[in-house]
Structure 1
Amino acid sequence: MSAPDQLLVIIDPVARHGDGESVRIAKDVLCARADVRICLPDGPAEFARALERCGSRRPVVVGDDRALLRAVDRLHRGRGLGEGPLSVVPVGAPGAVQLAGGLGVPLGAVAAARAVLEGVARRLDLLVDDSGGVVLRGLRIPAGTRAPLGTPYAPGAPGAVWDTCRSLMRTLVGPPASAGPARPARTHRLRVEADGMLLSDLDAPVEDVTVLSRDGVAEVVVRPRAGAAPIRREASAVTVSGASFRYRADTAQVTGPVWTRTWTLRRSAWALTLPVPAP
């Protein structure tokens, strides 16, 4: 009989207080089949210290998308992201765990815990910006984002990053024409470069810019004013500059304002434990 897995299960305080039953179920499934050490951090500092001291144990994060992002960011900054796979049991409201679901993690506590025990590590790409921040899937720079720094945007229905982008755009441009006079879409002036190639300059107003990591490349889409065709390009590095702007990454946490930012794709930079693919 093989030795049981050695796991460090870090339970985010938001998950503990928000859905204790799902946390209990996940703990029961994991403890039944693995050598588990439970960590109950009270805040981000203790969360980071737990990750730094996991040793030979495989880290398992129980929490929502923000907890997952915090773990990846901490491991990246501590240069431990590539040392072994990270596992996650998503616990939170549907809109708060859609990033984990989009990466392929089961959203039920039992299924997710079983994937931790029985799954396989899958290498994933990462977008890293010039301030050291990380983006797991994608980001968007919409015109007219007036939310204050740190204000979350909670999409109404789970889905992929592009579904979130479309939902956000509908919110930004207002009600349909039948509900009243149409208002012009907001625009801003940005310089967008993909691997040094200029896609849009300050003299061409754009409605938004999106960057999505997909299959070893960063897909860049620049959407000019209504009626103009989107500009699409695949790249390994994307630089956006111009008037100060804010952007929404992954779980739509607002970052900024910034004057310039470069995102570089790092292929297969980290590993996430996912269910074994069906034959």
Structure 2
Amino acid sequence: MAEVATSARPDQLLLVIDPVARRADGESVRIAKDVLSAGAAHTKVCLPDGPEEFARALRRRGSRRPVVVGDDRALLRAVTLLHRHRELAGCALSLVPVGPVLGLARSLGVPTGAVAAARAVLEGAERRLDLLVDDSDGVVLGAVGIPPVPRRGLGAAAEGAADGAADGARPWLRTYHSLVRTLAHPRPVRPGAQVGAGPARLRVEVDGVTLVDLDQPVEAVSVVPGTAGVAEVEVRPLSVGAEASPLTAAGRTVTVSGAHFRYRADAVESGPVGRRTWTVREGAWGLTLPTR
């Protein structure tokens, strides 16, 4: 399918309301719908019951600007669909965050209140953001963590960083740095709790240069989009005695290989895989964000 033209009028909106959002907080969905309908000349509302209908609604948007009403997983689903149909370049997304998983939305700078988010859709501006694309054509909007960090940890880090960076020019980037620190310093496990896979032996390469090799066990690896089309990588080596300093690097391509490992990309856990490569696509997708 050809790329969608960028001539969609800002007053023509397509509201794709995720079923999880409708079940989780119907009142916020109603408020967002009312604000957007009052502020736009024409609003079409779609209520998909599942992923297939969600995809169909997005594909049939025509000249309307798509507004996803849902949580991080709904936003990720929309970006993934547009990426796989090679339509990201010509389609700016808007988001009204509603649902149980909102850490990524906060980290990107999207207001989490229904009224504020809806007003940002109507009055905000498109910002082009970098995207991580892996070798299976999967996309990452926020952070990759190896091993997977519990979702509540990522959400808590995003909330704290977003609150502390409200006056910054790039609050979403500060939050990514907070996510890196969270990944590098996992929360202590209470006695008797089940522990994950533990230290792993992985080779981490950044732009073809080895940052850590299989002979050095590691506790955590994180990869996040940085600025100017590069990814920021942090590796936490296994510490014996004194705490080991993290290893950091930045580059356009990051490859992790070794024993089969699992990882969390945004709100989704994947694996096990023996090798995965992430490549930065600079300014690959657009999101409507507040102008101030």
Give CA-to-partner distance per residue, 1:97-152, whole Å, 9 cap, x none: 1101110110000000000000000000000000000000211102xx6x9xxxx7
Q: Could you tell me how far apart the structure 2 residues matched to 1:59 and 1:75 are?
A: 11
Instruction: Summarize the Cα distance change of 1:6–1:272 in structure 2 as closer, same or farther, 3 Å threshold.
Output: same
Shift of 1:154: 2.6
Q: Is 1:153–2:159 an aligned residue pair?
A: no
1:15-34 per-residue CA deviation (whole Å, 9 max, x = no partner) reads 01110000000000000021
Partners of 1:13 and 1:41 within 8 A in 2: yes
Residue 209 of structure 1 pairs with residue 221 of structure 2: yes
Query: 1:21-64 CA deviation, whole Å, 9 max, x = no partner?
Result: 00000000000021100000000111011111111000000000
2:104 aligned with 1:99: yes
CA contact (8 A) 2:130 2:280 kept: yes
Answering whether residue 154 of structure 2 is matched by residue 138 of structure 1, we say no
Contact 2:144 2:223 in 1 (8 A): yes
For residues 163-182 of structure 1, the C-alpha deviation after alignment (integer angstroms, 9 at most, x for no partner) is: 4565566666524xxx89xx
Identity %: 62
Q: Which residue of 2 aligns with 1:88?
A: 95
Contact 1:13/1:43 (<8 A) preserved: yes
CA–CA distance in structure 2, aligned partners of residues 168 and 20 of structure 1: 33
- Between the aligned partners of 2:76 and 2:122, the Cα distance in structure 1 is 21
- Aligned positions of 1:116-131 closer than 5 A: 116-131=121-136
Listed as ranges, the gaps of 5+ residues in structure 1 are none
**Residues 188-223 of structure 1: per-residue CA shift (max 9 Å, x gap):** 100110000011111111111110101121001111
5+ residue gaps, structure 2: 1-8, 161-174
**Alignment match of 1:51 (pick from 37, 58, 71):** 58
Equivalent position amino acid for 1:220 in 2: V
CA distance in 2, matches of 1:194, 1:209: 12
Alpha carbons of structure 1 residues 4 and 87: separation in structure 2 relative to 1, 3 Å: closer
Task: For residue 229 of structure 1, report the CA deviation from its aligned partner.
Answer: 1.7
**Would the alpha carbon gap of residues 211 and 84 (structure 1) be closer, same or farther in structure 2, given more than 3 Å must change?**
same
Q: Which residue of 1 aligns with 2:168?
A: none
Distance 1:63 1:41 in 2: 12
- Secondary structure at 2:89 match in 1: coil
- Does structure 1 residue 218 correspond to structure 2 residue 231? yes
Name the TM-score, length of structure 1 as normaliser: 0.87
Larger mean CA deviation between 10-19 and 163-172 belongs to 163-172
1:189 is paired with a residue whose SS is strand
- The answer on whether the counterparts of 2:184 and 2:222 sit within 8 Å (CA) in structure 1 is no
Q: For 1:72, what is the secondary structure of its paired residue?
A: helix
CA–CA distance in structure 2, aligned partners of residues 213 and 4 of structure 1: 28
Aligned CA RMSD, in angstroms, stands at: 2.2
CA distance in 1, matches of 2:189, 2:93: 40
Partner SS, residue 41 of structure 1: coil
Distance 1:209 1:232 in 2: 10
1:75 aligned residue: 82
34, 51, 60: which one aligns with 1:28: 34
